[in-house]
């Protein structure tokens, strides 16, 4: 498998099309690909037969984008949520299919763990739901866990691990580049431009415009702008999507030690402890993220320097689960952001004022894996599929209007991380 060079874009690209997609993160690039290529939807009949322009302010998979990190986890466990289970399962098929077709390694099947601290909690509910769909999984006791993966520790009241052998890791930044290049090969036009809504006529947007006054006109527009959506549409989304700083730490591995690499260790999520991690890939460090809301963050101008508290918090976790990494150094850090909706569910809906504008985003810390299916779903809707055509009433969750700006659980949004963590 090859790695993928960054896509290039022409100086004088067309500025008129049937569909403009603003934002070339995972959601926008997959939407653009399906719209241009065709073959989306359960019958493989949606998309195609239109000219598509994909615009991004900095370029696909750039370091400020939420999709711009190196890796993201993919798994099927979603509690009792059948819709998201279906979304991730179908997305996994697409990730595998297009990795092979494009000859780029986008999916590493390392398996995934969910570490459970209670017997009948989310992990058990997920296991029951996986069983119903015949998706392979194992419930691994702490004793079996350390026998099979001796590099793990079982501290912190570990009750069992839900192991999904078909789970794994997606190569995030590389994927955005690969999807965008595939879109270009299908005849799609990709340009770097930061745009906002321009002229309108009644309930129709006519064009988007950049700071220098250049315009791009189209019949239909999709804004898939991740954490920038509330900045572009402050009235509609300013209170609905919150953007928070999320720190990630990479721990350096012992010399010559492959036990923490993807061929030897699954990706993992420890929900109750608020950590997740990705085994080493491409000889990078062992990634540990804090699955807890950090302070409110500006994705354009926020300084991407991790809080020393984050490093301390990671160090507090290591003795329980990865005791051999306790004295290992931090070799890299990264700051990303969550763009979280009021109920942590994706947003896929018309703009309330424009019939020909769609808003797509609200990944809420979990959207990457679903990218292929989200793009496919958007394209079926653009082609005229009614809401509910595929998943019945479950699809209503994506609407803007049915949800308030009230956060369903105490997310701690806006608070500094150190102040809200129990350990301080
Ligand atoms: C630390 C961290 C860990 C995560 N882990 C996982 C995981 O393990 N698994 C998982 O599935 N998900 C995970 N997620 C969530 C996932 O990464 C996001 O849900 C997903 O990447 C969001 O993609 P997006 O396309 O909506 O946004 P983005 O990737 O941010 O893309 C939006 C794009 O829009 C462009 N844009 C914005 N405004 C404009 C404008 N005015 N003009 C032109 N372009 C514009 C931006 O430049 C950007 O490229 C994680 C997120 C974080 C932060």
User: In the prediction, which pLDDT does 404 show?
Assistant: 64
Residue 220: pLDDT above 80?
Answer: yes
| Placement of tokens 């006054």 in the chain | 213
At 411, the pLDDT band (50, 70, 90 cuts) reads very low
Domains and CATH numbers, the chain: 16-67+173-239+343-398 (3.50.50.60), 108-168+242-341 (3.30.9.10)
DSSP string over 113-182: EEEESSTTSHHHHHHHHHHHTT---EEE-HHHHHHH-TT---TTT--EEEEETT-EEEEHHHHHHHHHHH
* DSSP string of 217-231, one letter each residue: EEEEEEE--GGGHHH
Place of tokens 């699955």: 291
349-396 pLDDT, tens per residue?
A: 999 999 999 999 999 999 999 999 999 999 999 999 999 999 999 999
Is 420's pLDDT higher than 80? no
Distance 186 CA to ligand 1 centre (A): 23
**Region 202-221: what's the mean pLDDT?**
96
| Average of per-residue pLDDT across 92-116 | 98
Nearest residue by C-alpha to atom 33 in ligand 1: 23
Distance 157 CA to ligand 1 centre (A): 33
The pLDDT value given to residue 421: 40
Q: For residue 49, is it left (φ>0), alpha (ψ between -120 and 50) or beta?
A: left
Does the pLDDT at position 410 exceed 70?
A: no
pLDDT confidence of residue 401: 82
Cα(395)–Cα(348) distance, rounded to whole angstroms? 9
Distance, in Å, from the CA atom of 373 to the CA atom of 40, rounded to the nearest integer, reads 9
Give residue for tokens 């099979």. 148
**Looking at residue 409, what is its pLDDT?**
45
Span from the CA of 68 to the centroid of ligand 1 (angstroms):
7
Task: Return the residue whose CA atom lies nearest to atom 50 of ligand 1.
Answer: 365
d(CA 370, CA 126): 17
* Ligand 1 centroid – CA 25 distance (Å): 6
Residues 289-337 pLDDT 10s: 999 899 999 999 999 999 999 999 999 999 999 999 999 999 999 999 9
- pLDDT tier, 8 (very low <50, low <70, confident <90, very high otherwise): confident
Residue 412 above 50 pLDDT? Answer: no
Query: What local confidence, expressed as pLDDT, does residue 422 receive?
Result: 36
Instruction: Quote the ligand 1 centre to 329 CA distance (angstroms).
Output: 28
R_g of the chain, CA atoms, integer Å? 21
Mean pLDDT, the chain, as a whole number? 93
pLDDT number for residue 372 = 98
Of ligand 1's listed atoms, the one at least distance from the Cα of 71 is 8
Indicate which residue's Cα is closest to atom 46 of ligand 1: 23
Question: How far apart (Å, rounded) are the C-alpha atoms in residues 420 and 424?
Answer: 8
For ligand 1, mutation pick of 95, 173, 358, 368 (most atoms within 8 Å of CB): 368
Output the CA–CA distances (angstroms, integers) from residue 286 to 47, 162, 175, 277, in the order listed. 39, 21, 20, 8
For residues 387 and 377, is the Cβ–Cβ distance under 8 A?
no
DSSP string covering 286-326 = EEEEE-S--SB--TTT------HHHHHHHHHHHHHH-GGGT
Given the CA of residue 370, which atom of ligand 1 is nearest to it?
A: 11
pLDDT tens for 155-194 read 999 999 999 999 999 999 999 999 999 999 999 999 999 9
Q: Measured in angstroms, how far is the CA atom of residue 368 from the centroid of ligand 1?
A: 7
Question: Which segment of 5-9, 29-33, 67-71, 125-129 scores lowest on mean pLDDT?
Answer: 5-9
Among protein residues, the one with the nearest Cα to ligand 1's atom 14 is 365
Which of 309, 321, 385, 307 is closest to 348 using CA atoms?
385
Q: Please tell me the distance between residue 255's alpha carbon and the centre of ligand 1 in angstroms.
A: 34
Relative to the CA of 363, which ligand 1 atom is closest?
A: 19
Ligand 1 binding residues, C-beta < 6 A: 22-28, 55-58, 62, 65-67, 72-73, 194-196, 224-228, 232, 246, 248, 289, 336-338, 361, 363, 365-369
Average pLDDT over residues 265-282: 96
pTM of the model: 0.95
């Amino acid at each position: 498998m090859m790695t993928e060079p960054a896509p290039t874009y022409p100086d004088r690209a067309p500025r008129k099309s049937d569909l403009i997609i603003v934002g070339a993160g995972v959601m926008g690039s997959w939407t653009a690909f399906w719209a241009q290529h065709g073959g989306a939807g359960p019958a493989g009949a949606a998309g195609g037969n239109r000219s598509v322009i994909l615009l991004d302010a900095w370029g696909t998979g750039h370091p400020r984008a939420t999709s711009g990190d190196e890796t993201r986890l993919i798994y099927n466990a979603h509690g009792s949520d059948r819709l998201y289970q279906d979304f991730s399962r179908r997305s996994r098929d697409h990730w595998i299919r297009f990795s092979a077709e494009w000859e780029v390694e986008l999916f590493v099947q390392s398996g995934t763990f969910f570490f459970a601290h209670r017997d009948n909690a989310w992990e058990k509910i997920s296991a029951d739901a996986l069983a119903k769909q015949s998706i392979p999984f194992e419930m691994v006791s702490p004793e079996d866990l350390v026998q099979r993966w001796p590099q793990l520790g079982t501290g912190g009241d570990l009750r069992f691990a839900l192991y999904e052998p078909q789970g794994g890791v997606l190569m995030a930044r590389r994927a955005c580049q690969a999807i965008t290049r595939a879109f270009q090969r299908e005849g799609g036009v990709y340009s770097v431009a930061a745009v906002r809504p321009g002229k309108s006529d009644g309930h129709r947007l006519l064009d988007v415009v950049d700071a220098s006054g250049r315009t791009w006109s189209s019949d239909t527009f999709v804004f898939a702008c991740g954490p920038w959506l509330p900045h572009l549409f402050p009235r509609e989304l300013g209170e609905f999507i919150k953007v928070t700083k999320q720190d990630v730490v990479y721990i350096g591995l012992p010399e010559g030690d492959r036990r923490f690499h993807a061929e030897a260790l699954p990706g993992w999520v420890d929900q109750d402890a608020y950590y997740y991690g990705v085994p080493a890939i491409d000889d990078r460090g062992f990634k540990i993220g804090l699955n807890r809301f950090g302070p409110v963050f500006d994705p354009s101008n926020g300084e991407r320097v991790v809080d020393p508290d984050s490093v301390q918090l990671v160090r507090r976790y290591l003795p329980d689960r990865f005791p051999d990494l306790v004295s290992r150094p931090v070799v890299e850090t990264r700051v990303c952001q969550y763009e979280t909706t009021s109920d942590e569910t994706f947003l896929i809906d018309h703009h309330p004022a424009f019939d020909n504008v769609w808003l797509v985003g609200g990944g809420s810390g979990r959207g990457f894996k679903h990218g292929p299916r989200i793009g496919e779903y958007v394209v079926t809707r653009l082609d005229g599929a009614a809401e509910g055509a595929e998943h019945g009433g479950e699809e209503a969750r994506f609407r803007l209007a049915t949800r308030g700006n009230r956060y369903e659980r105490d997310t701690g949004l806006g608070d500094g991380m150190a102040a809200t963590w129990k350990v301080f």
